[in-house]
Amino acid sequence: MLVTSLTKYFTGAGDVLAGAAIVNPQSPWFERLRDAVDREYEDVLWGGDALLLTRYCEDFPARVQQINRTAEQLAEFCRSHPAVAEVYYPKYCTAGNYAAVQREGAGYGGLFSLVLRDPERTTQRFFDSLQFCKGPNLGTYFSLCCPFTLLAHFQELEWAEGCGVSRYLLRFSVGLESPSDLIGRLARALVEL
């Protein structure tokens, strides 16, 4: 079973509230899963959102390919920069898992996270000078950066760090800007450190 948001990359605009659950008819659990979904499903999709989904999804494959290529270039740039301590991107962390289900020519997605060297001193300065939109959404036409751990676990930062997630983690959602433009923005913010 695949469960996914349609609010994010599928639409690209972040102005539709929708999701999808897809059950593989070839699965030995198909009937059981389909029946469970049917028992719980409630159709609450607004008609206007359905129309927007139809329009937005037309360029979805091309958008995702561009985002995947750009995200990989940004992750590579960050990974090679001396001010960056760690880059979390599926290509580096879970490539084997991706390879098991990845379609030919597919990328690793439009999200990556990083932690800077000396993060207590550098993260806020980098974040403040970075010329990216700031926000917690994912999959918009424009790139975003957010201090993910601070937003998601503000009341439990020690717990998050005990699980290996730095309080200084910055998450990037890559949009449709040119890779050279985004790399330039990253480079300028990193120079400030």
What is the residue-wise DSSP string for 37-94?
HHHH------HHHHHHHHHHGGGHHHHHHHHHHHHHHHHHHHHH-TTEEEEE-HHHHS
Whether 106 and 69 map to the same domain: the answer is yes
- 116's enclosing H/E stretch is strand 111-116
Q: How many CA atoms lie within 13 A of 84 on its CB side?
A: 20
Whether 19 and 69 map to the same domain: the answer is no
Residue at a domain's end among 37, 59, 81: 59
Position 9 scores a pLDDT of 87
* Contact call for residues 185 and 131 (beta carbons, < 8 A): yes
Whether 116 and 172 map to the same domain: the answer is yes
Tell me which residue of 189, 184, 186, 168 sits closest to 85, measured CA to CA: 168
Q: How confident is the model at residue 157 (pLDDT cuts 50, 70, 90)?
A: very high
Q: Does residue 99 surpass a pLDDT of 90?
A: no
Q: How confident is the model at residue 136 (pLDDT cuts 50, 70, 90)?
A: confident
Whether 49 and 69 map to the same domain: the answer is no
* Tokens describing residue 161: 């760090």
Q: Please report the sign of the dihedral spanned by the C-alpha atoms of residue 74, residue 80, residue 81, residue 85.
A: positive
Q: State the residue range of the domain holding 73.
A: 60-191
Distance CA 172, CA 138 (A): 8
Q: How confident is the model at residue 154 (pLDDT cuts 50, 70, 90)?
A: very high
Give the number of domains in the chain.
2
* CA 172 vs CA 47, 108, 110: distances in Å: 31, 13, 8
Whether 39 and 111 map to the same domain: the answer is no
Position 98 scores a pLDDT of 83
Distance CA 111, CA 146 (A): 11
Residue at a domain's end among 13, 35, 59: 59
Position 7 scores a pLDDT of 86
